Chain A
Amino acid sequence: MRTSGLITLSSKETSMGKITKKMFVAGDTADATFLNDPYDSLAGDFVEGDNTSKKWANRDFINEAGGRLNNLYHDYNNGAVAFTTSSTTLTTISNGGDLREVNPNYTCQNDVVVRLCANGLTGIPRVEVKDFTGGNPQYNQYQIAFKITYNGASTKIISYGNYSWFAYAAACDFGAPAASPKSINYRNFGLSILEPFPAGTIINKVELQAKVGDAANELTILRNNLFVVIAEN
């Protein structure tokens, strides 16, 4: 025989909510507090951690036609038409007019983390100035970076990757060019970074850019790709 008492239904395996409910038996007084309890607790509860069993949610619960947790963007060119630049300001990589960019135009629903990754292969460069002094990057380097355009006109340049033209560290002064080694050809470059943005931000565009330290040098880029994940928190 059941005895009367106040039962809290809180087992996460058997119930979603923590609803208080007095189990009445014959002879009990229907006290107003006990009568009100189920409805009052119903009004105050959330779905929270101890309401959910492990693995209770999986992909079957998600409407994949709706908003996504991970938004993926990718851009690739095989480098059959090489990109060359002697610009000392960052220029968007373009293979035969095909710009290395993605255009999410995505409005962040929550605080997001934008993950950027780029990878590529250089060709044979032209290296005339080998002196390291000055320049940004230094004269004997080239640079790859991401440019993010957000909220229409705001921009952010991040994840600078500097590479030397030849097989010595950046801070080397070889003096006369004739004494310098030859360039490193067919070299691999790679960038990766996380950048947070607040809810409501519109992420318009991400570009992969490059520049050289001295306009007498020329960078050649062959195959390259750009990959962006906008991850909702």
Chain B
Amino acid sequence: MGTYTKPYTYVNGTIIDATGHNNNEQSARVWCNDEIVPTDIKDNSLDRTDLGAYRYYAPNEEFDGFSKTIGGTINTTTFINRAYFTTTAKTNRMGVKNVRNWQAIPNASYEVSVDRSNAYFFITGYLKAHTNANLTGIIGGNGQHILSNEIKLQIEDLDAGIQGVSDQTGDFVFGANGTYDPTQSDYDAGAGGTAASDRSITFSYYGLINGKGRKRFSIVVDPKQEIGYITAKTFVVEVFYI
């Protein structure tokens, strides 16, 4: 497209030239129907609202912008107070080695609806995790050993009924005190005292999730500790369509 040049100029007192007039009409028609190129567009001519139908939910300080948009973001910056997890097993292995008992943390999940099959998700979060002292046994000293509470991101395809946890996001918070069983090769918090029972956790997840429809992302914990809680400081889900 580029620059338009008028072929014929009208002058007062001069009979209009039919060919010149037709050339003006024809060139204007071609120019207007040709392709728009970057030089035809003034800087900053497109506002963000032109590109995305973003909605703002004031109560939760959340944004979303998915349908037909370039990308989408949903996030929270309001922390969620003390969402508790618990286990009644009070043992180091929940009874059986490698058994997982993932519990979703209340209010620390988002549901996203995507309208394109190939959408890339980027999810980041910052959490504060805490466990209380386990009451079944107290052995202090070098490390608190096997009372590891594993925290991950759970991904669900709600339409297909598929559920899984992401290995990209495994983190731990440990019991303040616990029974040490040297025959079990499990995670060792290492530090003495109570430091391992309060941990800042950041995680990031990236993945191509096929299939349109609803997905849900949740922070889940596999608790081996009696009682604990997680405070989600930030939790951001971004969708890239391109």
Contacts and interface: CB of A to CB of B under 8 A. Distances in A.
A57 B48 CA distance: 10
Contact of B41 (A32, A40, A47, A70): A47
A13 interface: no
Contacts of A182: 142-143, 190-192
Given A49-B45, A54-B49, A57-B51, A36 B6 contact: yes
Contacts, number: 165
A70 B122 CA distance: 12
Interface residues of B, number: 65
Given A49-B42, A186-B174, 18 more contacts: A31-B12, A32-B12, A35-B10, A39-B24, A42-B32, A47-B42, A57-B51, A58-B69, A59-B241, A72-B122, A72-B206, A117-B204, A166-B191, A182-B143, A185-B190, A189-B202, A225-B204, A227-B206
A51 B190 contact: no
A43 interface: yes
Interface in A113-129: 117-119, 121, 124
Interface residues of A, number: 55
Interface majority SS (helix, strand, loop, mixed), chain A = mixed
Contacts of B122: 72, 117, 227, 229
A205 interface: no
Interface string B129-159: 0000000000000110000100000000000
A229 B120 CA distance: 12
Contacts of B45: 46-49, 51-52
Interface of B: 3-6, 9-12, 14, 16, 24, 28, 31-32, 36, 40-42, 44-47, 49-51, 53, 68-71, 116, 120, 122, 124, 126, 142-143, 148, 167-172, 174, 187-193, 195-196, 199-206, 240-242
